[in-house]
C-alpha cells in the first residue's frame, strides 16, 4: 500500500502548482537571478581587445581554457567580469572541507551544527577572495605576456583594475548563488554552473544542424550523436538516483495504553556516487595542465620532455584514457573518505537508539558501514569512469561542434534531479498546509 507521501506525489497536478504562491515566487526569483548572471557574462573587462582574446581562446580550446570556459558559460573566452565565475568559491569550499578533517579546530566547528557551519562558510568566503585575487592577477599577467595586442594599456594600472574587477565579479556571483539557495529553488552554485553549460547548447545545436544541412556531416552521425546523448542521460539518471539502503531498527515504543508496543524501522541511504562530479573535475584538470603549459610556452620545441608528455595526454590517446580512469577512481575513493565518516554515522545512530539488525552499535556497526561503503564506491567509481570515457570514444568517431563531456552531463543531470526534488517537496508541503487549514475550518484539528 502506498504511503501518504507517495499518494500526494502521485496526485500532484498543475492546479496544485498554480496555487503554490511561495513556490512560484521562488522560481521567479531564481530565473531573475540567472538572467542577471547571464547578462554579466557579456560585460568585458576594461582595457582589452575582445576579438583578439576570442581568437586566441578558440585556438587553445582543447586545454585548461576549454574547461574554464565550459564552467563559466563562455565568459572566460569573452574575458568578462564573470570570467572566473564561481570556481574560486568551489575550490575554496573543497579546501575548507579537506582541512576540516585534518585540523581539530575546524573539525569541531563542522560538528557544532548551524553555528559552526556559518563560521566555516565565512572561512570559505575569505578563501574565495584570496584565490580570486591570485587567479585574477595571473589572468592579467597572462593577457599581457602571452596574448599579443590583447591589452590596450599594460602595466600596474591594468593589473589593478583586472584584479579588482574579476574579484568583485566572483564575489557577486557567490552572493547571487547564496541568494538563489536561500530564496530560490535548488543549490545556487550548482545552478550557476548549470546555466553556463546549458547556455552553450543552442549554439552547438544550430551549428550541428547547419553542418548536416550543408552536407559536411552525414545525417547518420548526427543521429548517432543525439542517440548517444539520450542514452547517456538515462544512464546517468539511473545511477544518480541509485542507493544502497541499510535497514535501521529503533526500539519498541508504547503508542497508547491499549495498544501493543511497536518498533520503528527506517533506512540509511548510501548513494552509489557519493563523490559527485569532484573526481572527474580534479582528474581532467590535472591531465590538462601539462598540455596547457606547453600551448602557452613560447617557441616550445616538439622534442622537449613536456612536448612528449603532452602528446601522450591528448584526448583519445590510450595513455590519457588509462591515467584519466586511474585518477577518477583515486579521487572517488579519496573524496568519499573525506566526506563520509562511518564512525561518526555509527555514533549518531547509537545516540538516537538506532541500530542495524545483526550488528552491535558502535565499532561493529561502523565497520559494517565502511565495508558496504567501500564496495558501492567501487561501483560508483567505475560508473564515473564509464560516463567520462564514453564521450571520449564518441568524439573520436563523430566530429561535431556539440560539447559532449561526461562532467557536464553529470552536472546537468544532478542539478535537474535536485530541482525536481525541491519542487516536489514544496508542492507536498503546500498540500499538507491545505489539508491542515481544511481540518481547522471543519473543527477536526484544534490548536
Q: Of the residues 197, 220, 248, which one is the last residue of a structural domain? A: 197
* Per-residue pLDDT at 67: 64
Give the pLDDT of the chain (447 residues) as one tens digit per residue.
444 444 445 545 556 666 777 888 888 999 999 999 998 888 888 888 877 877 777 666 555 566 666 667 777 778 888 888 888 888 888 788 778 877 888 878 877 777 888 888 899 999 999 989 988 888 888 888 777 777 887 788 888 999 999 999 999 999 999 999 889 888 888 888 888 888 877 777 777 777 777 777 777 877 777 787 788 888 888 888 888 888 888 876 655 555 555 557 788 888 888 888 888 877 877 776 666 566 555 445 556 666 667 666 666 677 888 888 898 999 899 888 888 888 888 888 888 888 888 888 888 999 999 999 999 999 999 999 988 887 767 666 666 555 557 778 888 888 888 888 888 877 777 666 666 666 666 665 554
* Per-residue pLDDT at 30: 92
- 190 and 235 in a single domain? The answer is no
> Does residue 72 sit within a domain?
yes
> Does residue 152 sit within a domain?
yes
The range of the structural domain enclosing residue 376 comes to 231-404
- 331 and 240 in a single domain? The answer is yes
- 391 and 303 in a single domain? The answer is yes
- 58 and 130 in a single domain? The answer is yes
* Per-residue pLDDT at 60: 63
> Does residue 313 sit within a domain?
yes
- 91 and 181 in a single domain? The answer is yes
* Per-residue pLDDT at 371: 92
- 260 and 157 in a single domain? The answer is no
> Does residue 210 sit within a domain?
no
**91: closest CA among 160, 186, 196, 193?**
193
- 57 and 174 in a single domain? The answer is yes
> Does residue 343 sit within a domain?
yes
- 254 and 320 in a single domain? The answer is yes
- 301 and 349 in a single domain? The answer is yes
| Domain CATH code at residue 370 | 1.10.3370.10
- 192 and 235 in a single domain? The answer is no
* Per-residue pLDDT at 13: 55
Q: Domain count of the chain?
A: 2
- 185 and 235 in a single domain? The answer is no
- 271 and 385 in a single domain? The answer is yes
> Does residue 374 sit within a domain?
yes
CA dihedral 337, 338, 343, 345 (to 10 degrees): -100
> Does residue 436 sit within a domain?
no
Q: Please, which residues bridge with residue 269 across strands?
A: 245
> Does residue 216 sit within a domain?
no
Q: Of the residues 404, 419, 438, which one is the last residue of a structural domain? A: 404
* Per-residue pLDDT at 306: 62
Q: Of the residues 177, 197, 217, which one is the last residue of a structural domain? A: 197
Amino acid at each position: 500500500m502506498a504511503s501518504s507521501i507517495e499518494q500526494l506525489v502521485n496526485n500532484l497536478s498543475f492546479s496544485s502548482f498554480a496555487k503554490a504562491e511561495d513556490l512560484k515566487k521562488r522560481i521567479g526569483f531564481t530565473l531573475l537571478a540567472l538572467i542577471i548572471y547571464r547578462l554579466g557574462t557579456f560585460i568585458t573587462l576594461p582595457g582589452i581587445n575582445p576579438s583578439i582574446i576570442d581568437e586566441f581562446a578558440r585556438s587553445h580550446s582543447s586545454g585548461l581554457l576549454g574547461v574554464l570556459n565550459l564552467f563559466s558559460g563562455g565568459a572566460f573566452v569573452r574575458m568578462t567580469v564573470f570570467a572566473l565565475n564561481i570556481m574560486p568559491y568551489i575550490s575554496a569550499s573543497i579546501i575548507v572541507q579537506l582541512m576540516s578533517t585534518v585540523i581539530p579546530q575546524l573539525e569541531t566547528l563542522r560538528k557544532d551544527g548551524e553555528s559552526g557551519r556559518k563560521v566555516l562558510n565565512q572561512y570559505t568566503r575569505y578563501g574565495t577572495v584570496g584565490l580570486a585575487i591570485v587567479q585574477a592577477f595571473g589572468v592579467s599577467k597572462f593577457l599581457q605576456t602571452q596574448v599579443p595586442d590583447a591589452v590596450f594599456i599594460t602595466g600596474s594600472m591594468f593589473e589593478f583594475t583586472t584584479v579588482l574587477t574579476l574579484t568583485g565579479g566572483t564575489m557577486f556571483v557567490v552572493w547571487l548563488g547564496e541568494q538563489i539557495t536561500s530564496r530560490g529553488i535548488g543549490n545556487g552554485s550548482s545552478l550557476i554552473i548549470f546555466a553556463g553549460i546549458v547556455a552553450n547548447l543552442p549554439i552547438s545545436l544550430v551549428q550541428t544542424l547547419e553542418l548536416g544541412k550543408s552536407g559536411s556531416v552525414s545525417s547518420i552521425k548526427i543521429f548517432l550523436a543525439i542517440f548517444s546523448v539520450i542514452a547517456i542521460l538515462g544512464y546517468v539518471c539511473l545511477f544518480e538516483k541509485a542507493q544502497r539502503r541499510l535497514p535501521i531498527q529503533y526500539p519498541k515504543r508504547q503508542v497508547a495504553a491499549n495498544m501493543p508496543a511497536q518498533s520503528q524501522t527506517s533506512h540509511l541511504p548510501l548513494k552509489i556516487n557519493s563523490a559527485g562530479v569532484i573526481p572527474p573535475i580534479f582528474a581532467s584538470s590535472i591531465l590538462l595542465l601539462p598540455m596547457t603549459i606547453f600551448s602557452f610556452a613560447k617557441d616550445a620545441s616538439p622534442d622537449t620532455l613536456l612536448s612528449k608528455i603532452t602528446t601522450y595526454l591528448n584526448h583519445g590517446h590510450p595513455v590519457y584514457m588509462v591515467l584519466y580512469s586511474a585518477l577518477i577512481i583515486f579521487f572517488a575513493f579519496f573524496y568519499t573518505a573525506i566526506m563520509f565518516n562511518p564512525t561518526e554515522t555509527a555514533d549518531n545512530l547509537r545516540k538516537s537508539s538506532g541500530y542495524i539488525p545483526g550488528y552491535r552499535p558502535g565499532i561493529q556497526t561502523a565497520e559494517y558501514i565502511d565495508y558496504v561503503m567501500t564496495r558501492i564506491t567501487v561501483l560508483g567509481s567505475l560508473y564515473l569512469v564509464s560516463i567520462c570515457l564514453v564521450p571520449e570514444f564518441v568524439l573520436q568517431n563523430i566530429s561535431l561542434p556539440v560539447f559532449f563531456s561526461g562532467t557536464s552531463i553529470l552536472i546537468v543531470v544532478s542539478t535537474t534531479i535536485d530541482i525536481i526534488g525541491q519542487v516536489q517537496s514544496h508542492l507536498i508541503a503546500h498540500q499538507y498546509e491545505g489539508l491542515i487549514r481544511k481540518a481547522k475550518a471543519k473543527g477536526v484539528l484544534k490548536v
